[in-house]
A = this chain, B = another copy of it.
């Protein structure tokens, strides 16, 4: 069996992972701590995610996909702040040190680490039930980041990309709503679950434009917008007919009501939901599209709660994955 030290040296201490981004640590893997410099004029943004096998991902999935997805969804929290990814640490608990699994897992990590430019600087490997904890460290310009608490009445509410694809894939797996999709559609939904692309560059553009309020969509846009509304002490008017659906989702869920439900409450999208004053709309569209589709889905209201443009109240506790509920 591999010792912890061999395991770290063989799988994690390689340049493709430890120097995957432009922000090299001053001292990386191998000492009691990693040491990093935060440049003048920048602040540090950090977020930690824990993913438990068969709670947050299927334990039997290919290790490349588990590694890719774990880091991608954690980096999505940096995107939600408009932070530039810099460093990450990995707490990996494994039932056994299986070389084939580890090598696949590291490949998946490396693929997304290089894509977003984030370097592995440390962590811990232990024996136990498969659990992955990742902490990501990003850099923001001092006092210049996106937060859940800065939505203002009159702001437009926007989302990037399309919603509901990952949830539809899970629903297909669990023999729920989605039945007999074509292979092509299935693959499109599958890749949205396993290979989400955190909106890192887009969020930094939003900060540069003067946007202040965003969240990433992990629990469904209704629940995540709900966090913005609670923390900003405002409400929202939502145009449900405007929710953006991919071609694949439209084909596998032709019923508009069922599709709307999945898009509102499904989760695992890792798109951004952000708000901005209407005078920024033109600039936002110009700067983000066509590479990143964006859709205006409603407006921030003074009055709390969420109502649809048809005047119907939308229950905010309806969706969203509650880990301890």
Contact = CB atoms under 8 A, between A and B. Distances in A.
Interface string A133-154: 1010110101101111100000
Interface in A171-196: none
A56 B145 CA distance: 38
A14 interface: no
Interface in A36-71: 36-38, 40, 43-53, 55-56
A317 to B, nearest CB: 9
Contact of A47 (B1, B5, B32, B137): B32
A2 B324 contact: yes
A4 B218 CA distance: 14
Interface string A191-207: 00000000000000000
Contacts of A325: 1, 3
A77 interface: yes
A323 B138 contact: no
Interface stretch (A105-113, A116-124, A296-304, A308-316): A116-124
A26 interface: yes
A92 to B, nearest CB: 8
B123 A48 contact: yes
B50 A124 contact: yes
Given A33-B138, A324-B1, A52 B145 contact: no
Contact of A36 (B44, B56, B92, B133): B44
Given A55-B127, A129-B131, A131-B93, A44 B38 contact: yes
Given A3-B324, A50-B131, A129-B129, 6 more contacts: A32-B81, A32-B148, A32-B215, A33-B80, A48-B91, A51-B126
Interface of A: 1-5, 7, 26-27, 30-38, 40, 43-53, 55-56, 77-78, 80-81, 83, 89-93, 96-97, 121-129, 131, 133, 135, 137-138, 140, 142-143, 145-149, 214-216, 231, 322-325
27 contacts: A1-B325, A2-B324, A3-B325, A7-B324, A27-B145, A31-B149, A32-B47, A32-B214, A33-B80, A34-B46, A34-B47, A35-B81, A37-B44, A40-B40, A46-B135, A46-B137, A48-B122, A49-B91, A50-B91, A50-B131, A53-B128, A89-B135, A97-B324, A124-B133, A125-B324, A128-B129, A129-B131
